[in-house]
Every structure is written in structure tokens, then in C-alpha cells.
Amino acid sequence: MRMQAWGSSDKGLKREGNQDSYLIDDRLGVFIVADGVGGHFGGEVASALAVETVREVVNHPKAAEFRPREVLAQAYEEASHRIFDRATQEPKLNGMGTTMVMSYVRDNKIYIANVGDSRCYLYRKPFLWQLTEDHSLINEQVRLGMMTEEQAKKMIGKNVITRSVGFERDVFPDVIEREISSGDIFLFCSDGLSGMVPDNELCSIFNLNPVDKVVPIMIKKALDHGGDDNVTVLVLNFHDV
């Protein structure tokens, strides 16, 4: 089965810099979107350090000896330790952290890990499903029945996250395991996309465009909707050779 990936990032229309980072590594089967938090410089450092650490852990010669879930747990743990420890050593970075959603492709399976509110969706024409669950204050209230999803869409402070990589020294990611099928398309994005563009519009973009064209179209759509935040989009496509 053939695997293809496309990704891009934009600082948006209202931010001075871009605190998002992403990675496409076909050789390792690793694909990441991370959205830094904790101030302009701190957010950039945290997301970049998280991506760099995951790549290093997965690329370790002994990684193949461990189960994929164990590799992912170690990757998130090491990233969180490095971010937290650096923030402790450098006061200007105090409080930094990052969301991180990623996939690890191995043995015809895809392992999706997530901390924070960056998301992974699965698209199989003509439907789009959100696979990951947001670790956010709003989502916690929806999950507990304190408000409806419609009410949540109108709330201020939707980007308050309840779990991040590096804000505390230890972190535990959610992990989803799936068999890969030809035709599977996975969308990874920061909340600069999912917070600006409704899921039905994201689905329509997939339905109406070739998969290799959707990344810039989605970024433009986020900007058209206001571009309030940095926006990062990564699309991973599996199909028969």
C-alpha cells in the first residue's frame, strides 16, 4: 500500500508569529502536528522541542523492539520531561507547553496519539469523523452534560486546554489503534483550523477536491473565516499502488 502526506502551516491573520510545528517523516512513519502554548517564544520552543523529541525516540535503534503503544508513551513522556525541565531552567519559558497529535505507522496499522486539542480526523468518502477527543475545558463540560455542543460553539475561551505536553513534567497520551485500509485519509490539524472551520465544511473540501490539493484550500478557508490563530494542516493518504 502506498502512503502519501502533505502539510503546511500559516501564522494566520492576527498572530505575530507561528507557535505551531509539524513533521512529515515517511521513513519513520511519523506524522505530527503540535500547537505551542505559553507565550510567543515559549510556544514556539515547546512545539519544536516536542516534534524533535518524538522523532528522536522513534528513530532510536531499539524502538522497533517495543510495541508501538510503548514507543508513543515513551515519546510523549520524554518530550514532556524535556519541555518542563527547560522551562524550569529558563524563567522566560516558564509555563510553556504544547498540544501534540501524531500518528505512527507500523505493520499495516496506524497508531494515533493525542494530548490537547489538536485533532485527528478520518475521511472515507463521503464522510468525515473526528477520531481524537479534545482535552479542553469546553469539551469536559460537554462530556459531563453541563452544556450542549451547540452551546459550546458560542462560548468564549474555547482554547483553554486541560492537558498539554510539558506544562507538567508527566503526561499520558490517548492512543487509538486502527488497521489501515486503502482509501483511508487522515487529517491532522491544530485548532487554528478546527476552531475556525466547521467539520461539515472540512468534509466538503475533501469531497470536492483531489486529496493532494486540500491542505492549502483548508488553510485558506481558515483565513477566510477570520484567521484568528496559527493554522497547521497535515493530510495522510493510503491507497493501493
pLDDT at 142: 55
Judge contact between 46 and 83, C-beta under 8 A.
Answer: yes
- Averages of pLDDT over runs of 10 residues in the chain (241 residues) are 97 95 98 90 95 98 96 98 96 95 97 98 97 82 58 59 94 97 98 96 98 98 97 97 78
User: Which listed CATH number (3.60.40.10, 3.30.2350.10, 3.40.50.970, 3.30.70.60) goes with 2-239?
Assistant: 3.60.40.10
Judge contact between 82 and 49, C-beta under 8 A.
Answer: yes
pLDDT at 20: 98
pLDDT at 41: 83
Nearest to 8, CA basis, from 211, 204, 189: 189
pLDDT at 183: 96
User: Which cell numbers in the block locate residue 159?
Assistant: 482554547
pLDDT at 43: 95
Query: Between 214-224 and 199-208, two packed helices, what is the crossing angle to 10 degrees?
Result: 140
pLDDT at 158: 57
Q: In which order are the strands placed within the sheet that holds 127-130? A: 2-10, 231-239, 185-189, 119-124, 127-130
pLDDT at 193: 98
Question: Using alpha carbons only, what angle is made at residue 115 by residues 219 and 53, rounded to the nearest 5 degrees?
Answer: 90
Q: What is the dihedral of CA 185, 206, 232, 113, to 10 degrees?
A: -30
pLDDT at 151: 56
Spans of all domains in the chain? 2-239
Global pTM exceeds 0.85: yes
